[in-house]
A and B are shown apart, each in its own frame.
Chain A
Amino acid sequence: MLCEVQDLGRLGWAEAYERQRALAEQRKRDEIPNQLLFVEHPHVVTLGRNAHEENILAPREVLERAGIQMFETNRGGDVTYHGPGQIVGYPILDLNGWKRDVHAYVRTLEESIIRALNQFGIQGERSSLNTGVWVNGAKICAIGVHISRWVTSHGFALNLDTDLNYFRYIVPCGLSAPVTSMEQQGVRATRAEVIDALVHHFSECFEFEVQVLETAQ
């Protein structure tokens, strides 16, 4: 199966969301092959479908003053933060042509990220607590997915050299599980290098043939 890969670079969350939606619709109609988009968002806090308001600690004004936008989304999961230094991946896949299995999808996504991290000497692991990829009890990559007619959207957010201070706005009580980044784990890598690794392992784990598209941005 073919999967087109595209790095859209810096893109606002709302624009990226629209883009995903349009692609997912096209994918449902089988007009395009599977897609894997990479983006980097400006500071934004998003609320998943199961989000608990209490997990956003700062009032909207404080977030605004800190230059953070806020959006409600239809992905699974709670509150999360995206921002510069984070590699956000949005796979738009038709699972009808793969496995119609939500768990298998999420586990495979995790597996490809764990393998990519391993390439940089980081031991990523799963946690029974929460979906995503963890390093020594700190979350390095968050996952939240939406599925409609077995077509996926949303995806994962891997901290490369994210300013982790921004996560404190959504930390639910000072008792939070810590977050970490590849940089904090002592890895110096460029965004392009990490995306290369992610694409490679993504294609291996999902058994997709990938085609990297040149990007305008």
Chain B
Amino acid sequence: MIEVVMPQMGESIVEGTLTRWLKKPGEKVERDEPLFEISTDKVDTEIPSPAAGVLAEILVQEGETVAIKTLVAKISEGGEAAAPAAAPAEEKKEAAAEPPPSEKVKDGVPEAPAAAPTQAAPAPAAPAPQQEAVDADEVLGPLSPLVRKMAREYNIDLSQVRGTGAGGRISKQDLEAYMAAQGARTIESAPAAAAAAPAAPKAAPAPAAPVAPLQPLKNRVEPLSIMRQKIAEHMVNSKRTSPHVTTIHRVDMTKIAKLRDKAKNEFKNRNGFSLTFLSFVTQATAQALRAFPIVNASIEGTNILYHGDINIGIAVALDGGLIVPVIKNADEKNTTGLQRSIADLANRARSKQLKPDDISGGTFSITNFGSFGSLFATPVINQPQVAILGTGSVIKEAVVQEDDSIAIRSMMYLALTFDHRLIDGALADQFCQKVKQILENWSEQIL
């Protein structure tokens, strides 16, 4: 059995991502024929097979990043051992008889994030684990480094674990299932054991018996998605560009809440999407932006660019990121029109159907963290805009009224973050008061 390892593609390279297998288990491969592809640092590399034979086993799946010298596959020489089931017998002999080249140890061990799989591979460096690994192989056939490592960490007797993989091979899932079952049993039997006083120690000198079947938390390295990288860069860039100041205003949404309660069922029936507070806030904001054009502006060098259009971006949370599609000419739309745009953009953002035009040209942004229960937050400006409005949850509160009575009102915090290079606090607050005043004195019909 020939062992195939993650090659070292350069002096400073300690790991590689296996991007694609070019052969399937059981398939024949010629010596030097491309066997798999790896990716490091935007370089994609085809790795040729070190020997002719049959790809017996794949130990590292596509998408996994492993340390160099990690065992990624095994190739059986001579066609007859093609079936994976036939592998264990042959493998057993090899593992015991053929010490891996010492280079393996020298190169593989020092790298911290990668140490685990390397160590678990049958390497002569660590006598104890190796012993165990070889023993396990004798009895149980080939085990993945991960399974060996887990077995060692949780002190599991592998001969007790039922393997469901090819040829009865024990997989990580098998081990987890076993641990879960063991954990359950331990808990069940705990009171009895306690009653029986000094519980007889098990054969294995278990320092920590698997009491609770907790999933092991491990260090894990995974690359930032491209979207994440872009967001990170954008956020840092924005904070570096603009002195951020956030001002908070409290708005009484009771009138709108009542209007919405009355209209929402019919609205939904008629339009097929729900009426939310966000469309009211967007409409009020668009009107306020008309009154305060400097909030709808950008800084260009030593000039102020007042935008001719009011294009409001609405932040939409996605899995692992966010996107800010834009409602063009938001000031020309009514509540229903805005709600339609919001629903449409959010849907298409989540189903990745946005067009380039949908996310460009924004002149101001709104982020509705209230939908996740936040009262108020301090959002980051979406450059090159100069302000962003955050809307908190609408919550019923006991509010002292003008006449000193106390009433239950639907309240919401508005948080405006503005670029203090261009906008001063007084103006920002006037802008917020404008939005507040429009919302509290809502006069438009909705339907």
| Chain A interface residues toward B at CB < 8 A | 48-50, 52-55, 57-59, 62, 74-78, 99-106, 129-132, 137, 143-149, 168-169, 171-177
Interface pairs (23), CB distance under 8 Å? A48-B42, A48-B44, A52-B225, A54-B227, A58-B355, A58-B356, A74-B37, A76-B39, A76-B42, A78-B226, A102-B45, A105-B10, A143-B42, A144-B42, A146-B43, A149-B32, A169-B356, A173-B231, A173-B321, A173-B322, A173-B324, A174-B324, A177-B229
A148 touches B322 (CB 8 A): no
- B153 adjacent to chain A (CB < 8 Å): no
Q: Is A101 within 8 A of B10, CB to CB?
A: yes
In the complex, A171 Cα to B358 Cα: how many Å?
12
The answer, yes or no, to whether B129 is at the interface (CB within 8 Å) is no
Q: Is the CB of A175 within 8 A of B46?
A: no
- The one of A48, A57, A103 in contact with B10, judged by C-beta atoms closer than 8 angstroms, is A103
Using A49-B44, A146-B45 as known contacts, say yes or no to A173 and B37 having CB atoms under 8 A apart.
no
On whether the beta carbons of B231 and A175 are closer than 8 Å, the reply is yes
Contact of A54 (CB < 8 Å), options: B10, B20, B229, B352: B352
For the complex, give the distance between the alpha carbons of A183 and B226 in Å.
27
A54, A130, A131 — most chain B CB neighbours (10 Å): A54
Contact with A50, one of B10, B19, B360 (Cβ below 8 angstroms) = B19
Contact partner, B230, options A49, A149, A168, A172, Cβ 8 Å? A172
Which chain A positions have C-beta within 8 A of B233? Answer: 129, 137, 175, 177
The 8 Å CB contact of B34, one of A52, A102, A148, is: A148
**CB-CB under 8 A for A74 and B44, given A55-B226, A137-B233, A174-B323:** yes
Point out residues on B near A: beta carbons under 8 Å.
9-13, 17, 19-20, 32, 34, 37, 39-46, 48, 225-227, 229-231, 233-234, 237, 313, 321-324, 352-356, 359-360, 362, 382
- B9–A77 contact, CB under 8 A? no
Q: What is the minimal beta-carbon distance from B37 to any residue of chain A, in angstroms?
A: 7
B56 to chain A, nearest CB (A): 23
Closest 6 CB pairs of A and B: A101-B10, A174-B359, A76-B44, A102-B9, A175-B234, A103-B10
Which A residues lie within 8 Å of B41 (CB)? 76, 102-103, 106, 131
A116 to B356 Cα, complex, angstroms: 33
B237 CB contact (under 8 Å) in A106, A131, A137:
A137
- Determine how close the nearest CB of chain B comes to the CB of A138; give it in whole angstroms: 11
C-alpha spacing A129/B230, complex, angstroms: 9
Contacts of B229 in A (CB 8 A): 129-130, 177
Judging by beta carbons under 8 Å apart, are B359 and A173 in contact?
Answer: yes
**Cβ A147 vs Cβ B43 within 8 A:** yes
> Is B323 touching A102 in the complex (CB atoms < 8 A)?
no
Q: How far is the CB of B370 from chain A (nearest CB, A)?
A: 22
Does B44 contact A145, Cβ atoms closer than 8 Å?
yes
Residue from A62, A75, A78, A131 within 8 A of B355 (CB atoms):
A62
